[in-house]
Amino acid sequence: MSREVPLVAGHALLGSLKELREDVLAAYLRAQRTVGDVVRFQAGPPGLRTEVYGVFSADGIQQVLGSQAANFRKDNPTYTEIRESVGNGLLTSQDDEYVFQRRMVQPLFTRRRVNGYADAVHAEAIRTIEGWKSSPDGVVEASAEMAEFSLRAVTRILFGADIDTALDVVRRQFPVIGDSVLRRGVSPVRLPRTWPTPANRRTLAAQRELYDVCDRIIAQRAAAGERDDGSDDMISLLVRGRDEDGSGLTGAAVRDQILVFLLVGHETTATSLAYALHLLAGHPEAGARARAEVDTVLAGRSVTAEDVDALPYLNQVLKETMRLYPAAPIIGRRAVADADVAGFRIPAGADVYLAPWVTHRHPDYWERPETFDPERFTPDREAARPRYAWFPFGGGPRACIGQHFSMLEACVALATILQRYDIEAYDPPGHTVSAALGMALRPAGPLRVRVTARTMEAAA
Ligand code: HEM
């Protein structure tokens, strides 16, 4: 018999509203430590009170994302907001529509294709770090630098030759959409989008401009596609893609996919990279070991996709960074029917949240969880851990399709940086920069590092 889920104690009138609003990650972490692996929060005044569930143990997560995935759907407010803001692409679609989309999108993310993106990623990394030579005092702010790098990298892969046209609109308008999704996705009261409030007007204008630029480029690719001009940016591939019965994505469906890739495909990798640089700078031994590995494997030449598997320590560094700073720190679902998760009863209609932020610090799986230690990710130690102790890319049938691309992008960029610059701490020893929740996890303050250009002889 399933047990009732214990309630996290909160304010008599407002429940846990204040804690969840102020710092949802800290509130979840505290709840796991003080209440347990499956918890229930109440928030808001009586009558308007909402309830959310948190599931933090590896076996519970496996049930929600894996074995009971059909019962835990993307019907929650955040996914509804994303659908309404950028269309119903692969991240949010469900059922038959999802199955068709996944079939059409999968060929863009095969290992061969993803490896083919490495040169573009390398070129964008070089372009980003060129500017570091002239930075005042040799200090750079890693999160802004990595955000610009990964925005350019993903936009180039999506839009090919039209990168500059797209970048101009994406830079101006995407933050407006992101803010709106965040604000509306967590707000208990959502005014209809059609009401002409200033915020709604801004969001609609941003959406229109983004749709227009995508539609224009998609139409050009569709016209060129009939001649098959050989372009292999993602828009061209999606426009030309056909199922066995000859059906393909409509122009609007291509746009939906592109906008989703932009929404989840750049800030996430930027966050991992920025924290990786900051952590390596603050842990000189790990930094020296990563640099030595890069120098040995590359011996002065540029990194390629084939090198990624030959850089195990760099991959460990990235995994450990994503443990401490998972770019998607919370993953939500809504239960369709009553369910048993890890021995607890979750009722139909419940909003259920999983939190890599919490599980990645769970004392059952991680010793000294706040310590940065890439040795946790040696193959033996990884194999000894439950599958869902580490799940920055989600799991089950809706696991991240961009996982390999993101790891390749981060590894290529990090190798390129370490080959060309020595990275040192700017902040005093032990300084950490906490994280805040945006569309992706973001550093709550500047992530400064000192950089000194190396000579290529030193790196060879
Ligand atoms: C560090 C980088 C990244 C992280 C941490 C990350 C994380 C995630 C997570 C946790 C999910 C599952 C969401 C859920 O279950 O509700 C997901 C799904 C997804 N991600 Fe990523 N992601 C990253 C990079 C990317 C990139 C670079 C792309 C594409 C260019 C991408 C595209 C997608 C898509 C399309 C889905 C939906 C897949 C489906 O439902 O079939 N992600 N991502």
**Tokens standing for residue 169:** 């609109």
Does residue 33 sit within a domain? no
Q: pLDDT class for 216, splitting at 50, 70, 90?
A: very high
Whole-Å CA distances, 449 to 131, 283, 306? 14, 12, 29
What value does the mean pLDDT take over residues 138-150?
Answer: 96
Q: Are 255 and 78 in contact (CB under 8 A)?
A: no
CA of 220 to the centre of ligand 1 (A): 28
Give the Å distance between the CA of 258 and the centre of ligand 1: 13
What is the biggest distance separating any 2 CA atoms in the chain, rounded to whole angstroms? Answer: 70
Alpha helices in 266-349 (DSSP H): 267-282, 284-298, 312-324
CA of 90 to the centre of ligand 1 (A): 10
Residues 103-129 have a mean pLDDT of 95
Q: For residue 228, report the distance from its CA to the centre of ligand 1, in Å.
A: 30
Q: Which atom of ligand 1 is nearest to the CA of 157?
A: 30
Tell me, what's the pLDDT at 30? 97
Contact 361, 369 (CB under 8 A): yes
> In CATH, what number is assigned to the domain containing residue 215?
1.10.630.10
Our mutation pick for probing the ligand 1 site, out of 264, 320, 390, 391, counting the most ligand atoms within 8 A of Cβ, is: 264
pLDDT digits (tens, 9 = 90+) for 235-265: 999 999 999 888 999 999 999 999 999 989 9
Whether 370 is covered by a domain: the verdict is yes
State the pTM of this model. Answer: 0.95
CA 192 to chain centroid, in Å, comes to 28
Question: In this predicted structure, what is the pLDDT of residue 255?
Answer: 96
- The total domain count for the chain is 1
What pLDDT was estimated at residue 230? 66
- Report which protein residue has its CA nearest ligand 1's atom 6: 393
16-62 confidence digits (pLDDT tens): 999 998 899 999 999 999 999 999 999 998 888 899 999 999 999 99
Distance (angstroms) between ligand 1 centre and the Cα of 252 equals 21
Could you give the C-alpha distances from 222 to 253, 254, 274, 322, 382, in angstroms and in order? 13, 11, 37, 38, 45
Q: What is the pLDDT of residue 334?
A: 97
CA torsion angle 156 158 163 168 (round to 10):
-120
pLDDT of residue 146: 97
Q: Hey, whose CA ends up nearest to atom 19 of ligand 1?
A: 400
Name every protein residue with a CB atom under 6 angstroms from any ligand 1 atom.
90-91, 102, 154, 260-261, 264-265, 268-269, 272, 327-328, 331, 392-394, 398, 400-402, 405-406
* Separation between Cα atoms, residue 19 and residue 26, nearest integer Å: 8
pLDDT at position 110 is 95
| Residue 228 pLDDT > 90 | no
Residue reference for tokens 């993101």: 406
Q: Give domain status of residue 94, yes or no.
A: yes
Please provide the average confidence, as pLDDT, over all residues in the chain: 93
Taking only the tens place, the pLDDT of each residue in 348-404 is: 999 999 999 999 999 999 999 999 999 999 999 999 999 999 999 999 999 999 999
Q: Does 428 reside within a domain?
A: yes
Q: What is the pLDDT of residue 186?
A: 63
Give nearest CA residue, ligand 1 atom 9: 393
Contact 388, 366 (CB under 8 A): no
What does the pLDDT read at residue 183? Answer: 76
Task: Tell me, yes or no, whether 238 lies in a domain.
Answer: yes
Residue 349 host element (H or E): none
Contacts 24+ apart (CB under 8 A), 100-105: 100/243, 101/249, 101/253, 101/257, 102/401, 103/243, 104/238, 104/241, 104/243, 104/248, 104/249, 105/238, 105/257, 105/401
Residues 6+ apart with CB under 8 A from 255: 87, 211, 214, 215, 218
Residue 55 within a domain: no
Nearest CA owner, ligand 1 atom 27: 265
Residue 376: inside a domain: yes
Kindly give the distance from the C-alpha atom of residue 402 to the centroid of ligand 1, in angstroms, as a whole number: 6
Distance from residue 15's CA to the centre of ligand 1 (Å): 32
Asked whether residue 23 is domain-assigned, the answer is: no
Considering the chain, what percentage of its residues have pLDDT values greater than 90?
Answer: 80
Angle at alpha carbon of residue 159, lines to 157 and 165, rounded to 5°: 130
CB 454 within 8 A of CB 132: no
Task: Characterize the bridge pairing of strands 139-141 and 448-453.
Answer: antiparallel
- Domain containing residue 441: 87-328+360-459
> How high is the pLDDT of residue 226?
64
Note the pLDDT tens digit of each residue in 154-200.
999 999 989 999 999 999 998 898 888 887 766 656 667 777 788 88
